[in-house]
Structure formats: C-alpha cells, structure tokens
Structure 1
Amino acid sequence: MASQFEGFIKKDKNESRISYLVETKKDQNPCFPQAPFEILSNYQSQLKRLTPQKSNEPTAPQTTNGTLKFSSNPVVSAVFIMKLARMRLHEDCSSYSINPFKFQSMISVDNLKDVELASNLLMAAENLSIQQFDSAEKFLKQCVLLASPCDSPLRGIVTYFTDALRERIDQERGRIDLERKIVDLEEYAMMFKSVFLSCEQKLPLSQISQFTGMQAILDSVASARKVHVIDFGIRSGSHLIILMQGLASRKDHPVELLKITAVGKSKNRLEKTGKWLSSFAESLNLPFLFKTVISELNDLKEGFFEVEAEEMVAIFLSLKLCGILAWPRRIENFIGFVKKLNPCVIVVVEMEANTNTPIFIDRFYEAIFLASAIFDLLNTCLKGDSMFRKIVEETYFQQMILSTIAEEGEGKIQRFAKIDFWREFLARFDLVEAELSPLSLYQANLVLKTSPCWSSATVDMNGKSLILGWNGTTILSLSVWKFDHKLETETN
C-alpha cells in the first residue's frame, strides 16, 4: 500500500493542485462548513512524501504451533474483541480446548468481560440460525444484563444487535410489533443537520470519500462549460461545496452554469439544502441552478430530469445502490435508467462488506465486523462528542443493523456488496471502471494526515478503486465508472 502512494506522490510533485481555501464574502452564511477547506489548505506547502500511518490496532490473535500470540499493544477495539469471541466459539466446537480467558495477562479484566458479552451475542446468532429460538433468547438475556451500561463501542454494538436479533426471533415466531417505529433517515438528516455536518468533518473516511469523489468529477468535466451533477443521496450537501469551489477556481474553461439535481423523498429537506448551496454559490460568483426530484429510486422517469444537450452530466451515488441491491430487477432498471442520462462519469461509494447473501449467519458475521469497525471509528474520532455520536449511532447505524439482520421480503432491506461484485455487475451494462487521478489519490492521503486521531484509518487500492478502512477492517469503497459506448456498439 505504501509503495502505491509513493509512486503517485513522486509523479505529481511539481503539478499544481486545486486550492480549496475559500475566500468568501464578509456576509457569508456562518453555517458553511470550513473544515473541508482547512484540511487541504493546511497542507498546501507540504509536498513531501507521505506514507500511511501504521495502525495502532492489536493484530488478530495468531496460532503458531498451537500457541496463541497477541500484540503487546494495550489498545483493544470492538473488532478485536469480536475476533476473540468468534475464535472462542469455534474452538469450543472443535477438538481444541483453547479459551481466551487463559490469556488474562494479555488483556484486562474488563476486556475479558467484553469477550464473554460478545460470545453470548455470537451464540445467540448461531442458535437463531438453526432455529433454536429458546436458546437464542437465553443468550440475548445475558447480553442485556452484561451490556448495561452501554459505555463502550463493544457494548453499543451488542445492544443494537441484540435488539435486531430479538426482532428477528419475533418475526420467525409470528410475533409482530405493530408499534415499531420506522426511522426516516431523510427526516433525521434535516432535524440534525448541524450534528451530521460536524460529524462528517471529524470522520476521516467521510472526508476522504468526499474529496476523492468530487475530484473525480472535476477531472471528468475539466473542459465542460455547463456541468450538471445528479446527486441521488445529497444528505448534508457538504461534499458539493468541494465541487463548487473547484469549479469556481478554474482559470481555463470558466463554468457558465453548474446545475445540481438532488433526488430524494423529502421536498422540504432538499429545498433547504438547495438554498444553502445557492448562497454558497453566490459567495463564489458561480452561476448556479438547483433542481429537486422527489422520488424513490425505483420510481424514476426520464421526464423528471431536465438535461440539456450541451450539459456534461456527472452522477454521484453515495450509499444508494445498497438500498435496492436486494431486488435484482430494481437495481437493473435503475442502472439502465442512469445509462439513458448519458453521464460522462459515475462516482459510486458503497460499504465494503458482503451482506447480500440469503444465509443469515454469513450475513450476521459480515455485519458484526463492519459495525464494530464503524463504532471503533466513531468512538475515536467523536471522543468528547458523546451526544453527537449517540445521534449518529441511533439514527443511521442502528437502522443499518436492523435492516441487515431483521428485514426480509418486502421490508426496507439494505444489503452491501464488495467491489468485486460491483465490477462484475456493472460490466453487464457496459460500464468500465476508470482510474482515479494521481491528484485524487494524493489529496486522499493529505486528508488522512489532517488529524492525529485519524492514524488508524487505512487507505488502499483494489484495482482502480479506493478502499477505506479502520484498523485494517474495510468499511468503504469508492469507484469511478464510465460507459463504454464502443462495447455498446459492438454488442448491437
């Protein structure tokens, strides 16, 4: 991984970089986030060679000649505890009698209790998978007792997965909770906009994916006079500020119009985001037009989008394909619809995990390690912001866990797939994976160096795609796609 970054840093040493430092009007809206611009401007003069930091994560226990060896590093994460618990579970079911509780000199008493807690959760899931519901519920009762108070990433994970497993058991047994509250993520995003903005600026993977994704679009529309960005998951809209600053700073090929079309279900939220972005565009003297499309992804029609002949269209898909992945016809229709918009580039950000499997226990283990890594990240980067962290956990991530573990059939299912799956799937629509520019990769590494607490973030390449993780556990993939019209012609 280090050698890959060294290569493009050497290559781009003398190339100019886009400056994201904003010079705004004195009466600029005070809620414009400044952190994204400070990130790169703080490093504008530092063109020295950068290599990723070594992880502080203790390595997974390794077995050598029947002896377990642990890292001497005192940091013990939720992911590490889950690995110990799974090892304990598998060894207890095999000919080995190795028990992590023999390693008391390696980890603290509290960590041993966490291993016991995690083991109960895994046993509940294993029993549920073979329809031993009474046994599963007994283990879940132990989880409730041991996880309180919920004062650590591990205990938070256990609490949310316990709730999801209980709901799954209720469904299997025909017990339906008619009063269950469905979280509307778009409404929560509007209610807690300032919270999500603050969190986005403090989370390395969010910042890296935003800067890299917007740079990929800037690279693809470098000579376009009219740029039309269709965003299917605009959320706070802070990533588009990066794009707007990049376009406004152009000296060659000045932009005549930037049009952004935001797709979503909440008209009120989208319009508020549009006003916010319009004010920012005005501060940059950037010709700007904001449009909204109120629709689900599976209900889109061509007439919803006003695409002019001279516009160059770019599409941003951040954590949207996972919402329709469980329905093959829906996702195929959606990609076919996107193809009709004739975009010059499609940027895709997705979770790098495989929960798109009908086998429950496989889905559970993928989800538990993904969520554990995310909660470790939140705990590190939002330390001191416990209220913010709680809001983020209880809205987006609690819903993600519930959807992955408990939802089936016609429910609001969210399923994740890894980059290898997306390569195979998108190739069926004549989509070709494009290279990320050296500038995009260089900026990703600059962002990584912004905060000391981000040293556990990992940035790697899988083919042409960027893979982002925490302490070695993959969390996000970012890939860039373009339609190969030659392939389309040959096929026809």
Structure 2
Amino acid sequence: MKADLRGNPTQISLQNPSLFNNIPQTSLSGALKGCLGSLDGACIEKLLLHCASALESKDATLAQQVMWVLNNVASLVGDPNQRLTSWFLSALISRASRDCPTPMMSFNGRNSIQRRLMTVTELAGYVDLIPWHRFGFCASNSAILKAIEGYSRVHIIDFSITHCMQWPTLIDALSKSSEGPPLLRITVPSCRPPVPPLLNVSTEEVGMRLANFAKFREVPFEFNVIVDSPSTTPCEMISKESHSFHLESLPSQFNPSMLKLRDDEALVINCQNWLRYLPDDAKVSTTTETSLRDAFLDLVKGLNPRIVVVVDEDADLGTASLTSRIATCFNYLWIPFDALETFLPKDSCQRMEFEADIGHKIENIIGFEGFQRIERLESGSKHSQRMMKAGFSSIAFDEETLGEVRSLLDEHASGWGMKKEDDMLVLTWKGHNSVYATAWVPSSFEDN
C-alpha cells in the first residue's frame, strides 16, 4: 500500500459485469474471484501479477481472463488508478501478442503511444509541470556552482535526456558572479537514448539557442557535439529499434583528445536520467566481466573530474523477473499519476501527454526483454554502492543547496518534499521516494 492512492483507494465498480459471464469461474483463482466485484489499487496490482505469472508460464487463457477484468477498469481519463492500469494493460497486451502461442483477443484498453516531437517552448512547460526533472536540475546546479568556484574555465560534459534544459538557470547564476563569469563549455554526445521527451530541433540548434542566451547574459560560452558515427542520422538515433544507441562508441569518445580537455578548466560530468540506459548485464567484451555501466564509470573516473553529478528515479527495475518488475513499477509510477491529479483536469492534453511518456517507459519495462529492454533503473542506494565500488567518494549537499531545493518545491503542490539519506538528496511525494540526486569525486581527487 502506497500513500493516499494506495492507502485510501477509491472503489472502482466494474462498468459492465456481463462481460465476464462467459469466463469459466472454476478456472479463476480465489484472488481473481475476489476482484470481480470492485477494484482498488491493491487488487489491481494483484491482477497484474496474476497476468504476469500467466504470461511467464505461457497460459494464454488465464492471461486473457485477467486482461478482460483489467480492460473494464482501465481508462485514460479516469482516476489515477484507472489511468495507470490503462498503460500497464497496454504493455501486457503488447507482450502477450509476442509471447503467447495462441492469438490474443482484442481489448479496448490498448493505447497507442504517440511519440510527438515537442517545440522548445513545449519542452520547457513539460519540465516545469512537476518537479520530477527540476529537482535534479536545482540540486545539481547548486553543487556544480560550489565545485567550480575560483575557476576561470568550466567544462561540463552533459549526459541527459532533457535536451540541455538544465543549463539556462546555471548560465543565469554564472552571470551574477561577483568575480565575473567563467568561460563555460558544454559538450554533449550525439547519441541519446530513444526515449521521450523528444524535440523537434537538432542538438546543434539547442546549442545555438544556449549560446544566444549566454551572450545575452554576458557569459563566455562554447558548445560542442561529439559525433559518434558520420553515417548515423538523427532519425536513426531516436528510432525505437536503436536500443543500444551506439554505446559501443562511448570509449572512443571518452578521451582527453576527443573531448579537447584543458588543464586549466574545472571538468564537470553531469548524468541526468542516463546511467539506467547503460546495460548492467551486458559485458564490454567476452574477455571481461565488466558491465557497460561500470566501464562508463571507469572512463569518467579516468578523466579526474572536479565533480560528478548523478540524478535518477529511485526504484529498482532491472530484475529479470517480470512479476517483480510489475510490482515495483506499479508501486512506484503511481507517484506522477497521483501528483498530476492534484492540479490538472482529467481531460488535460498536457497531463495525458506527460502520462503517455510514462506509458512509454512502462511499455519498455513490461513489454520487452533482452537488449530491447533499455529501462534498467536501479535505486539510489544501489547506485551509491556502485559509485563507491568504482572508486568515487560522495559529496554532501550543503545548506544553501537544501534551501534552494525547498524554494523550488514551494512552487509546486504541497505533497512534494525532500529528505537526506546520508549524502543523497531525495525528492518525495507524500513521503515516498521518487527521484534522487548525488554528487561525487574520484577518491584520488579527494585525497589530493
């Protein structure tokens, strides 16, 4: 049971109970029979787990029965439980169509996830909707500003899915420096995970807009894009089939020559919702046990950065077990659905688009396996253990940073909060962890 949405669930009556008259009741488990009258969040979760178990055992008949029940509950314009159920049902149907040997019947609840390209203005509104991304921007920028004090040159290597939306605020803060702003250089890789939000302009155009803003704020600025392959087109980079998004090219890009590193600059590595897309079960080569995720951290450490900032969602979604992933995913992703309910009407296009992007994530977590499943999130505590094992030491967020994050959260609904877990800063909704932020330095850097 999770927060208000789980602890005080709305009873959802079945809209058309006659749909289930032709389902052989003797084949239903006791748990399923108990869910045929009305459905709350806990019962929906139980149904999802039954369906997952049926799919894993190739029991198409039971999977169809459960989906019929879920289909009668799911609604894209209902309450948060119904809306979340709709996206889970869509993911399960997608998986069932591939996994079950018999044809699956059609369901009204299946959604078509539209991956629309946003304008820069629309993306700004998307980011501002709830503090899901802004929390990480605020905590990271504050930590970065503290780490680069006294440097006349700053180089940020940015790994992010939000198209540099973090940097206007940092540029504005640098413009107000009493000692004058440093020269700011931002480098981004051309490869990007094929996930929303998607933008209707190129990375180079984003850089030009940042350069214009920096010029307006009188901050010296450079923007560089590392092109991983001359034969790769922008369309191929965001294609649904490009699940590896050219990870194999990262080692060749991550060297001082390619990055044009300079001895007199403060190097910053910024990872916002990025590390999860580096597979932890894929090895760098057949001759080593090092995963791509750990290899990436080794490359980062080798650059000896002034600070490494990592922000991501605080849940474990990398397990091989489908039932485990469904349980964790359902009890985590209710948070944004519940938060959006507090201030946007049920038929809000902005709300439905934000939820559709979450639905895209659910589709990948539930509907795919192997190299096609790129959503392999790990919790903040596991991430911290990984960083320490890789040779990094954590940096605590200071009181000034905490104050800035509190001010940010005051702009949003009262359900949002913040807490510290050791050196990790965590965004909460109704007391439940949603997003974590951490800051690190190589242990050798700290010793110096």
Query: Which TM-score applies when normalising by structure 2?
Result: 0.77
Match of 1:58 in 2: 4
Equivalent residues of 1:233, 1:264 under 8 A apart: no
Aligned with 1:485 (options 437, 440, 444): 444
SS of the equivalent of 1:307 reads coil
Aligned with 2:411 (options 450, 465, 468): 450
Match of 2:303 in 1: 341
Judged with a 3 Å threshold, the aligned counterparts in structure 2 of structure 1 residues 221 and 381 are, in CA distance, closer, same or farther, namely farther
Could you give the per-residue CA deviations for residues 249-278 of structure 1, whole angstroms, max 9, x where no partner exists? 1113x3341001122337952112111111
Could you give the per-residue CA deviations for residues 399-434 of structure 1, whole angstroms, max 9, x where no partner exists? 211111122112142111112211221122211111
Match of 2:271 in 1: 317
Aligned with 2:181 (options 251, 255, 260): 255
Name the stretch that deviates more: 363-372 or 137-146.
137-146
Corresponding letter in the other structure for 1:320: W
- 1:117-266 map, 5 Å: 119-148=46-75, 150-173=77-100, 188=116, 190-233=117-160, 235-252=162-179, 254-265=180-191
Structure 1 CA distance for aligned equivalents of residues 76 and 426 of structure 2: 34
Judged with a 3 Å threshold, the aligned counterparts in structure 2 of structure 1 residues 175 and 228 are, in CA distance, closer, same or farther, namely farther
Corresponding letter in the other structure for 1:410: F
Structure 2 CA distance for aligned equivalents of residues 381 and 192 of structure 1: 23
Equivalent residues of 1:312, 1:344 under 8 A apart: yes
Structure 2 CA distance for aligned equivalents of residues 280 and 486 of structure 1: 33
SS of the equivalent of 2:210 reads helix
SS of the equivalent of 1:222 reads coil
Structure 1 CA distance for aligned equivalents of residues 148 and 402 of structure 2: 18
Structure 1 CA distance for aligned equivalents of residues 163 and 11 of structure 2: 30
Match of 1:67 in 2: none
SS of the equivalent of 2:362 reads helix
Question: How high is the sequence identity, in percent, across the aligned residues?
Answer: 20
2:401 maps to 1:440: yes
Structure 1 CA distance for aligned equivalents of residues 45 and 443 of structure 2: 47
Equivalent residues of 1:199, 1:382 under 8 A apart: no
Equivalent residues of 1:430, 1:487 under 8 A apart: no
Corresponding letter in the other structure for 2:420: M
SS of the equivalent of 1:415 reads coil
Match of 1:299 in 2: 249
Could you give the per-residue CA deviations for residues 376-414 of structure 1, whole angstroms, max 9, x where no partner exists? 1233354488112222222x3122111111221121421
SS of the equivalent of 2:178 reads coil
SS of the equivalent of 1:413 reads coil
Corresponding letter in the other structure for 2:120: K
Equivalent residues of 2:75, 2:83 under 8 A apart: no
Match of 1:41 in 2: none
SS of the equivalent of 1:238 reads coil
Corresponding letter in the other structure for 1:274: G
Match of 1:377 in 2: 339
> Cα offset for 1:318?
0.6
> Cα offset for 1:182?
11
Could you give the per-residue CA deviations for residues 323-375 of structure 1, whole angstroms, max 9, x where no partner exists? 11443521122112212322111110111001121222111111111111121
Query: Which TM-score applies when normalising by structure 1?
Result: 0.71
Judged with a 3 Å threshold, the aligned counterparts in structure 2 of structure 1 residues 375 and 231 are, in CA distance, closer, same or farther, namely same
Structure 2 CA distance for aligned equivalents of residues 288 and 282 of structure 1: 8
Aligned with 2:324 (options 346, 349, 362): 362
> Cα offset for 1:147?
1.7
Structure 1 CA distance for aligned equivalents of residues 85 and 344 of structure 2: 20
> Cα offset for 1:148?
3.9
Aligned with 2:294 (options 308, 313, 332): 332
Match of 1:281 in 2: 214
Structure 2 CA distance for aligned equivalents of residues 433 and 77 of structure 1: 45
> Cα offset for 1:165?
1.3
Equivalent residues of 1:461, 1:467 under 8 A apart: yes
> Cα offset for 1:196?
2.4
Structure 2 CA distance for aligned equivalents of residues 134 and 377 of structure 1: 36
Judged with a 3 Å threshold, the aligned counterparts in structure 2 of structure 1 residues 369 and 139 are, in CA distance, closer, same or farther, namely same
SS of the equivalent of 1:162 reads helix
Structure 1 CA distance for aligned equivalents of residues 298 and 434 of structure 2: 27
SS of the equivalent of 2:166 reads helix
Judged with a 3 Å threshold, the aligned counterparts in structure 2 of structure 1 residues 57 and 408 are, in CA distance, closer, same or farther, namely closer
Judged with a 3 Å threshold, the aligned counterparts in structure 2 of structure 1 residues 159 and 471 are, in CA distance, closer, same or farther, namely same
SS of the equivalent of 1:355 reads coil
Corresponding letter in the other structure for 1:58: D
Judged with a 3 Å threshold, the aligned counterparts in structure 2 of structure 1 residues 392 and 298 are, in CA distance, closer, same or farther, namely farther
> Cα offset for 1:162?
0.9
Equivalent residues of 1:225, 1:256 under 8 A apart: yes
Equivalent residues of 2:364, 2:374 under 8 A apart: yes
Structure 2 CA distance for aligned equivalents of residues 319 and 371 of structure 1: 15
Equivalent residues of 1:403, 1:413 under 8 A apart: yes
Equivalent residues of 2:304, 2:445 under 8 A apart: no
Could you give the per-residue CA deviations for residues 123-176 of structure 1, whole angstroms, max 9, x where no partner exists? 323433444332012211222233246433222211111111122223323689
Aligned with 2:434 (options 455, 468, 475): 475
Name the stretch that deviates more: 457-466 or 334-343.
334-343
Structure 1 CA distance for aligned equivalents of residues 442 and 54 of structure 2: 46
> Cα offset for 1:291?
0.7
> Structure 1: any 5+ residue segments left out of the alignment?
1-55, 62-69, 79-90, 102-108
> Cα offset for 1:247?
1.2
Name the stretch that deviates more: 224-233 or 137-146.
137-146
Equivalent residues of 2:47, 2:70 under 8 A apart: yes
> Cα offset for 1:116?
6.0
Judged with a 3 Å threshold, the aligned counterparts in structure 2 of structure 1 residues 343 and 383 are, in CA distance, closer, same or farther, namely farther
SS of the equivalent of 1:455 reads coil
Match of 2:380 in 1: 419
Could you give the per-residue CA deviations for residues 5-47 of structure 1, whole angstroms, max 9, x where no partner exists? xxxxxxxxxxxxxxxxxxxxxxxxxxxxxxxxxxxxxxxxxxx
Judged with a 3 Å threshold, the aligned counterparts in structure 2 of structure 1 residues 219 and 442 are, in CA distance, closer, same or farther, namely same
Name the stretch that deviates more: 218-227 or 139-148.
139-148
